[in-house]
Amino acid sequence: MSLSTLKDVYIDQLKDLYSANNQAIKLTDDLIEAASDSGLKTALEDSNEGTREGMKVLETILSEHDSSTKGEFCKGMEGLVKEAHAHALGADFSDSAVRDAVIISQYQRLAHYAIAGYGCLTAYARRLKLDKDFQRIQVCLDNTYGGDRRFTGLATQGINKDAKAA
């Protein structure tokens, strides 16, 4: 794809974030299975549902711009997924709280990638005067921020304390 205009960049980044979210969902399914804390499991499940909703928004926007979700594979998320597999799923843990603490940190890296992606997309949509797109993407951004704060709360209000005691 030739990136000649900001609209081209916008479409390219919509596809990139769609691919990133798709990869994140698959990893999060594995993180759910590995997590031991019930609150963490629920947060991961809820986050996956939110990611799916975000993907529907991206798919709709792409369709409205006569584009599809096909053709992009996010290398940035691929790297984050590999890191999470190595550190949260592939490592040996003698304590489940320690694993849960690592799961949170690895998941938040994924969320921060999404926050950056949605943030850029809102800026592009605003500049391109795509008000309807802007509003829908802003909701996704706000929801992703909310999820990130939820994981921070889980970590700081118990899981990290339990991991420290291990």
List of domains in the chain: 6-91+102-165 (1.20.1260.10)
Residues 68-104: tens digit of each pLDDT? 998 789 999 999 999 999 999 999 999 999 999 999 9
Give the model's confidence band at 10: pLDDT under 50 very low, under 70 low, under 90 confident, else very high.
very high
Question: Reduced to 3 states, what is the DSSP secondary structure of residue 36?
Answer: coil
Angstrom distances, CA of residue 88 to CA of 6, 35, 91, 101, 161: 37, 9, 6, 9, 18
CB 126 within 8 A of CB 55: no
pTM beyond 0.75: the answer is yes
